[in-house]
Chain A
Amino acid sequence: MNYYKWLLLFICCVCLACGQPRDQSSELTVYTSRHYAADDSLYAEFQRETGTTIRVVKNKDDTLINRLLTEGAQADADVLITADAARLHRAKNLGLLQPIKSKKLDQLVGESLRDPEHHWYALTLRARIIVHRKDFDTGALRNYLHLSDPQWRGSILVRKSNHVYNQSLVASMIAHYGKARVKTWLQGLVANFARNPSGNDRSQVLALSKGEGDFAIVNSYYLGKMMAATKDKEQNWQEQNEAFSRVKVMFPDQGLDAHGTHVNITGAGVCNGADNVEDSIRFIEYLVSDRAQQVFAATNFEYPIRSDIEVASVLKSWGDFKRNLSGIRDAGIHSKQALMLMQEAGWH
């Protein structure tokens, strides 16, 4: 009869869509919010070298963390890679990560770049820099606080407040200057916005080069990517190249007594309840190895976490700078408060 056909079709669909059961013992499941081709090539290389199959689950950071949270110890994830210390801190506090022992990691990853209780380790560094057009006179602007000066009315370009990069920046400022001062700073900053925050970091630079504002607050690696944009990867590559050539980088908070430019990280940790802890540690060790760090630095324009690895030439041309490494841990502690302060100031 007719309805049997439909029922059969439905059952077939369900079976096919659910996919085949996986053999979990010989594989490593990596939850990552990094979405770069460079990473994929590294995973493939690790797979070739060790014979461990890697299953990559790419999604938004919060989706991954929420998923781990609801699944608890039974989640199928082994390694969590996510952007920003605030998220790693959150994952740790929620009990999603487990402490790991690895001499190699402790030796290669600096103390300020890892969790004191060994729950997570940084993989790469990015600086949250201020960018302006080459011909623009920045006056006395030397640090983030100066951005709220009324003389810069209508000149600041930045993405939305619910992005973790901004939350961490503000969180580290709360740790440094206190809540009250950051609150007034945010009000001044929002009053200086050139437009309603929209788009990602790259669109801020594009808008800057078109004169829609005078300063953009962006992550360093995006500039490298804009420089390296080519025809076969991006359709507005010319626009990006051009915008890159028109702008100049400024590292804020660089004076002798200043605390350094805000940096954020991407980091990795082993999930609580991972089936394959040994391989997971080996995998993270691989990600801080010479080879992987070189790939991160050269193709993704991130700062390596190790001082003995060479940075990409474009980053080198911007010069060395003082990094606010203590801000990495502060970011986690104050991130929710930072978001609420930003929203109160009208930064959405």
Chain B
Amino acid sequence: MALRYFRASVCSIVALSRLLPTLSICSLLVIPHLIIVVQLFGPRSSDWLHIVEYLLPAYVLNTCEIVAGVLPISFFLGYVSAWCIGTFDFPGRKILKRALMLPISVPTYVAAYAYYGMFGSAVVGKWGIIIIFSVVLYPYIYLFCLAGFSRESRTLIETARSLGSRTFDVFRRVQFPMSRPALISGLWLVCMDTVNDYGAVDFFGINTITTGVFVVRENFDISESGRFCAWLLILMLLIRGVEDWTRGKRSFSDGHNYVARRRIRMGTVSSVVAVFALLVPIGAGFIIPAISCLTWMVQFSEVADWKHAFEITLRTVLLAASASVLVVWFGLYLSWSCRVRRDTLLHLLVRVCQTGYVVPGVVIGISVMTMLLALDRVIVPIFSYFSIFSSSTFLYGTYFALIFAYCVRFVAMSITACDAAFLRLGMLVHEAARSLGKSPLQVLFMVEIPSIRPTLLIVFGLLFVELVKELPLTMLLAPPDFGTLATLTHMHMKNEDIIVPAIYSSIIMSIGIGSSFLLWTRTGPEADNVSEYRQNK
């Protein structure tokens, strides 16, 4: 009897110890969120009352106005272009299909800088920023909808046709309602990127919630900015929750027959019209910013400090690459743990980890900062007592802090992608390998990772591009002498220095385009669905 209890308890300890690495990674990634929510219950200072009364309403209103402007315009651009590409056939379609994605590689602050350089103060203002965000962010909607259009059910459309509907009616009554989930996902990404933006709105002097966090952080106490962020976090989670709830359990596919649809061939005149129409978003979102940055770069190439530019590029690339590797690993490991262990607590924790991508970067920045400063207050005295280390900060303001913050924010992307890949792979492979006598970890490394390698590469590539252009988190947490391409672009933009931003923006854009190109050539058609990996389910 006693032996049985002993055995049981040993077993449970072993089981727990197996879960330990996963649980610790999870809790590490979840703690910043918890800390920030705890801030809400702290004492209220008179500064906070001032913030609520005079700052918050204006900031929230501005943010809402910008989002409300960006969503319909980017929807129009993205949806119409996806519909054209997905429904019709015309000369140059294949090139345009790819080219329409290009604006993704232009960070919003670079676009703002380019437009300001071209049109001067005429674009400074809310309408300017709305247009700029729309032309740069529409590809999210385009990508999702395109995936939806090219895979939509032929049966449904042909049924509608045979019942006498014309092209536009089919669109209005079948295609549009069917593409709702894709559309919502795209709109959600656009909304998040708009709220997350710091560089462009700050450059144009518009006060949004994100710039508000910086204002509060610079002029008041850090706990005030923490509380500010907590409200922001709750707001974003609420919006997300409402969206999930309205979508409910309705099904948006008939479950089979996802055959690529035959496209309608266009006449000469309509082809020309279509090509020119599709060139508008590409031109506004990519060609204008890219050409202007490149021209300025060439114009100032003689006075530029190329050596320094090279050093900064190398540093940024290394930072982004190492952080991406780590984020991919964390995501892979967490997703895989959920796959092999059916543990409710674990699944819940992993879900919470994924909220990082829902909230703006500044919020993560402030919460990680709060967490690390608190940890430093505990660690540093211990370390200095044993004279291991003698600085007042050990974690905060280091390279490590920055990478950790990247993990908290971006791990969701990696988890979502790995989840999807594992789902496609199925459990049979895993069980077969296990029955051949391999341990779960051996199976992971020998079977599962090689099978989902394309997905991992794509996630790595996307993360890399995202981190190269990441601004708010890097600004908050990077050591002061650790400038990346993005932070230096922003700093010099604000000082109305033209040379440095032109060169650095061109480098950022080339890195973006280069990596996307590599992804397409290396991983083939799978990369076409890239934006799905950014969706946080």
Contacts and interface: CB of A to CB of B under 8 A. Distances in A.
Interface stretch (A41-49, A57-65, A99-107, A127-135): A57-65
Nearest to B460: A6
Contacts of A322: none
A2 B498 contact: no
Contacts of B50: 340, 343-344
B392 A73 contact: yes
A189 interface: no
A70 B397 contact: yes
Interface in A193-229: 196-200, 202-203, 206-207, 210, 212
Nearest to A65: B218
Interface string A170-198: 00000000000000000000000000111
Contacts of A20: none
B392 A74 contact: yes
Contact of A17 (B120, B300, B319, B475): B319
A348 B207 contact: yes
Main secondary structure of the interface of B (DSSP, over half): helix
B205 A198 contact: yes
A9 interface: yes
Contact of A206 (B121, B299, B445, B481): B121
Contacts of B427: none
A233 B303 contact: yes
A6 B496 contact: no
A3 B449 contact: yes
Contacts of A346: 54, 58
B480 A63 contact: yes
A160 to B, nearest CB: 6
A35 B497 contact: yes
Contacts of B261: none
B125 interface: yes
Contacts of B494: 200
Interface residues of A, number: 54
Nearest to B62: A348
A10 B326 contact: yes
A198 B206 contact: yes
A59 B491 contact: yes
Interface string B363-398: 000000000010000000000000000111100110
Interface in A64-110: 64, 67, 70-74
B347 to A, nearest CB: 25
A162 interface: yes
A13 B318 contact: yes
Contacts, number: 128
Nearest to A344: B54
A31 interface: yes
A207 to B, nearest CB: 6
Contact of B480 (A6, A16, A67, A207): A67
Interface stretch (A234-242, A248-256, A262-270, A284-292): A234-242
A343 B117 contact: no
Interface string B319-355: 1011001100100000000000000000000000000
A14 B322 contact: yes
B308 to A, nearest CB: 11
A198 B204 CA distance: 6
Nearest to A336: B219
A140 interface: no
B450 to A, nearest CB: 7
A63 B321 CA distance: 26
Interface in A131-176: 159-160, 162
A203 B121 contact: yes
A71 to B, nearest CB: 5
Contact of A199 (B205, B207, B483): B205
A308 interface: no
A348 B55 CA distance: 8
B399 A18 contact: yes
Given A70-B392, A74-B391, A17 B322 contact: yes
B417 interface: no
A348 B205 CA distance: 9
B205 A160 contact: yes
A71 B449 contact: no
B117 A17 contact: no
A3 B441 CA distance: 12
27 contacts: A6-B329, A17-B319, A17-B399, A18-B399, A31-B480, A35-B495, A57-B481, A59-B480, A63-B480, A70-B393, A71-B397, A74-B390, A162-B215, A196-B125, A196-B206, A199-B124, A199-B205, A202-B496, A232-B302, A232-B303, A234-B496, A235-B498, A236-B120, A239-B120, A344-B50, A346-B58, A348-B58
**10 nearest interchain CB pairs?**
A198-B205, A13-B322, A72-B392, A74-B391, A17-B318, A57-B481, A62-B218, A10-B325, A59-B480, A343-B54
Interface of A: 1-3, 6, 9-10, 13-14, 16-18, 31, 35, 55, 57-60, 62-64, 67, 70-74, 159-160, 162, 196-200, 202-203, 206-207, 210, 212, 232-236, 239, 336, 339-340, 343-344, 346, 348
Given A198-B124, A199-B205, 18 more contacts: A1-B446, A10-B326, A13-B318, A13-B322, A58-B491, A70-B397, A71-B393, A159-B205, A198-B125, A203-B124, A210-B121, A232-B300, A232-B303, A233-B303, A235-B296, A236-B120, A236-B498, A348-B58
